A and B are shown apart, each in its own frame.
Chain A
Amino acid sequence: MSIISVKELCLWYGDHQALRNVDIEIPEKSITAFIGPSGCGKSTFLKTLNRMNDLIPGVKITGDIRYEGTDIFSKEVDVNNLRKEIGMVFQKPNPFPMSIYDNVAYGPRTHGITNKVELDDIVERALRDAAIWDEAKDRLKKNALGMSGGQQQRLCIARALAVQPKVLLMDEPTSALDPISTSRIEELVMELKGKYTIVMVTHNMQQAVRVSDHTAFFLLGELVEFGKTDDIFSQPKDQRTEDYITGRFG
């Protein structure tokens, strides 16, 4: 089953075309990795899925993206609700300069939950799901900026989980972290896939192999190849994919 289906998606930044006719069906409750060299459009594409590109002036988009069958660009769609369903974790950990608790409660509060007991429960569950409860439970009222980079990133994952999204977009979530934090995040991502659909941009091909079920290879704004991760890395169909994963360019 696919949860997001994309047809003939093109995107321009001003005159520069960053995405060319992308077609993809993102399978539900699994991990999809986007790989490709810098500037290939993988992050741009990721940010199109929950319309984060709306924030950038001069972006023009054509084509069709359907989330659970609904056109996400249609006028009836409230972009804030879309982003509640399709959450996002960024490349650099970006906790707000407030307490750990308030960071996690930010999303639920945004969507109207004010009951203290309910919030406490959501915060605890999100922190547990993001495997950071043990480190955070005694310092919930402390400023989140006092945590280490890896902890901050897991906090950001908890913050995203707290609004109970169905899809989690992750834009190179480990590229700013040390190896130990990276492996913790990878383990976490694999635990989360039972409950969530995860789409992850990564620069690191080993990471794609370790973590993902499906892999999409982007080059110069084009989706070159998409399939099961094992197939992509063992018997790529396209010469360009093979050249990239064998390290001939990138």
Chain B
Amino acid sequence: MLNQALSKKRKGFEALVKALMLLSVGLTAALVLFLLIYVLGQGIPNITWELLSTKPSYLTERIGILPDILNTVYIVLATLLIVLPLGVGAAIYLTEYASNKKVVGIIEYAAETLSGIPSIIYGLVGMLLFSNSMGTCLMAGALTLVIMNLPTIMRTTQESLKTVPQSYREGAFGLGAGKWRVVRTVVLPGCVDGVITGGILSVGRILGESAALLFTAGFAHAVNGLIDGLAAPGATLTVALYVYAKEQGEFGVAFAIAAILMVLTVMINFAAALVQKHFAKRRSI
């Protein structure tokens, strides 16, 4: 007969491999679930309206994270406002205008390397470059984050520009359109999804960034308007989390912030996926 002993051995081996892989999947899923349940379980009971809507006061020994929320919003806005035009502009130049492909390759390689550098190094450089001249403030933090996110925005936009079919460009040039008109009317609309996705992912990175901001943006918890806020030192949510947990032992507040950040991160990833799906649908018409 067809050697049954061997086939039994094979079946046993198959089953073992399958079991091992199942174990890895189970472990991964369990870790995520544990983290989610633990952080949310510890955090959500500590989220109160008072915490969200006030600033900390030493007199009443009250802790509020309103300033940290505002600071986070300001720094996200300021960073995106600077990094989007810069990154998209650079991407357009590199893919549509630049003729020396060797230099373009070097720049792309540099950008990729830049996005892999540990963020604390950006913090150090940002401190020397910005905080030393303009003082420790949110703007210095935002500028540091601009450097950090520039490669990401540039690369995602570039990749997205490359997906715009060459035949669109030829069609437009063939009608007598100039370079800029071709880029503006035919190429850019085709890469909006890449820009938006890059922007959303950057928001996620900014929300999660602490190391670079510890050096540059400071730790203050004052409620400011947008312009005053950018000129003043301030802690974002992640930095506040660090300060409350490590320096003040307020673990309840730290977990509340952690829970908020976690929910925001999930929402951001969800939004990025949604945008991509939306544009994929539009493209397939």
Residues of A within 8 A of B (CB): 50, 52, 55, 57, 80-84, 87-88, 90, 92, 94-98, 106-107, 110-111, 143, 145-146, 156, 159-160, 163
Contacts and interface: CB of A to CB of B under 8 A. Distances in A.
Looking at A50, A80, A81, A95, the one whose CB has the most chain B CB atoms below 10 A away is A80
Looking at B169, B171, B178, B283, the one whose CB has the most chain A CB atoms below 10 A away is B171
B171 A146 contact: no
B175 A97 contact: no
Q: How large is the interface on B (under 10, 10 to 19, 20 to 34, 35 or more residues)?
A: 20 to 34
B248 interface: no
A148 to B, nearest CB: 13
A52 B174 contact: yes
A135 B140 CA distance: 59
Interface of B: 99, 101, 165, 167-178, 181, 185-186, 189-190, 283, 285
Contacts of B170: 52, 55, 88, 90, 94
Contacts of A163: 175-176
Contacts of B165: 94
Nearest to B100: A57
Given A80-B177, A94-B165, A110-B177, A143 B172 contact: no
A80 B177 CA distance: 6
Contacts of B283: 97
B285 A143 contact: yes
Given A90-B167, A94-B165, A94-B168, A50 B186 contact: no
What 4 A-B pairs have minimum CB-CB distances, sorted nearest first? A84-B176, A94-B167, A88-B174, A107-B175
B174 A96 contact: no
Given A57-B99, A83-B174, A94-B171, 18 more contacts: A52-B170, A80-B176, A83-B176, A90-B170, A94-B170, A96-B172, A96-B186, A97-B283, A97-B285, A98-B189, A106-B175, A106-B177, A107-B175, A111-B176, A143-B285, A145-B285, A146-B285, A156-B171
B260 to A, nearest CB: 39
11 contacts: A52-B170, A55-B169, A55-B173, A95-B171, A97-B168, A106-B185, A110-B176, A110-B181, A143-B285, A146-B285, A160-B175
Nearest to A103: B171
A158 to B, nearest CB: 12
Contacts of A90: 167, 170-171, 174
A58 to B, nearest CB: 10
B174 A80 contact: no
Contacts of A52: 170, 173-174
Contact of A84 (B101, B171, B175, B181): B175
A169 to B, nearest CB: 8
Contacts of A156: 171
A143 B173 CA distance: 21
Contacts of B168: 94, 96-97
Contacts of B101: 57
Looking at B167, B172, B173, B176, the one whose CB has the most chain A CB atoms below 10 A away is B176
B285 A87 contact: no
